[in-house]
Structure 1
Amino acid sequence: MNLESPNITVSKSSQEVFDFLADIKNFESLMPENISKFEVLEEDKFLFALKGMPEIILQKKEVIPPNKIILGAAGGKIDFSLVGNIKDIDASSSEVQLEFTGEFNPMMSMMIKGPIKKFIETLVTSIPKAV
């Protein structure tokens, strides 16, 4: 399953957005209102839970400054990745898009597609206010 957020324009350079997203503790400020838990486990790993959903652990897997940050599942039964793509528009603004990729059976895909799409849209639309 591949899902993409809308492209969001941020009034910051791609380097500023990259630096913000590279610091995983900043993801707490991007989370939806229904978050029930957020905890930094290590420098590159955090755990979060939304009400009614299991806890998810994300770990920074790869960084390509200042254009890409790849987070992936750290443990658990589900393997997926969340990629932040950052593009320069000009010296003081950039465009951000999040991509979610995971391998799920058809039944699981049907159940989680809507909530995950909403989740990545919430994350990306929170970036301009948080950076």
Structure 2
Amino acid sequence: MTLESPKAILDKSAEDTFNFLSDVKNFKSLMPENISKFEVLGEDKFLFALKGMPEIVLKKKEMTPNSKIVLGAAGGKIDFALIGNIKEIEANKTEVQLTFEGEFNAMMAMMIKKPISKFIETLAANMPEAINTTA
């Protein structure tokens, strides 16, 4: 299953955007309002939970400077990746699109498609304000 967020346009360079997304503690500012827990577990790993959902641990798996960051499930029963694709449009203007990829059976995919879609849409929607206030 592959889900994509709408593209977020940021008034930052690709390097600034990459640096922001490389710091896992910054993901707290991207989280939806219904977050019930957020905890940094190390330089490359964080845990979060949304109300009514199990805790999820994400870990940095792959990084391509200024263009791509891949966060993956760190343990748990479900293997998936959250990919941030960063594309510089012009100086100090960058486009970011989040992609969720995971292998799920049909029943599981049906259950999680809507909440995951909403989750990555919220992360992308919160990005312009979050990066401008922290960077």
> Shorter-normalised TM-score: what interval?
over 0.9
Partner Cα distance (1:106, 1:57) in 2 = 23
Partner Cα distance (1:18, 1:66) in 2 = 5
SS in 2 for 1:39: strand
Question: Over aligned residue pairs, what C-alpha RMSD do you find?
Answer: 0.4
State the match for 1:89 in structure 2: 89
> Shift of residue 7 of structure 1?
1.0
Partner Cα distance (2:87, 2:26) in 1 = 20
State the match for 2:33 in structure 1: 33
> Shift of residue 8 of structure 1?
1.3
Partner Cα distance (2:63, 2:34) in 1 = 28
State the match for 2:110 in structure 1: 110
Code of the aligned partner of 2:56? I
Code of the aligned partner of 1:86? I
Identity %: 69
Partner Cα distance (1:111, 1:84) in 2 = 23
State the match for 1:52 in structure 2: 52
TM-score normalised according to structure 1 size:
0.99
State the match for 2:100 in structure 1: 100
State the match for 1:11 in structure 2: 11
> What residue ranges of structure 2 are gaps of 5+ in the alignment?
none
> What residue ranges of structure 1 are gaps of 5+ in the alignment?
none
Where does structure 1 differ by over 6 angstroms across 4 or more consecutive aligned residues?
none
- Aligned pair count reads 131
Partner Cα distance (1:29, 1:64) in 2 = 22
- Write out per-residue CA displacement over residues 72-92 of structure 1, whole angstroms, 9 at most, x where no aligned residue: 000000000000000011111
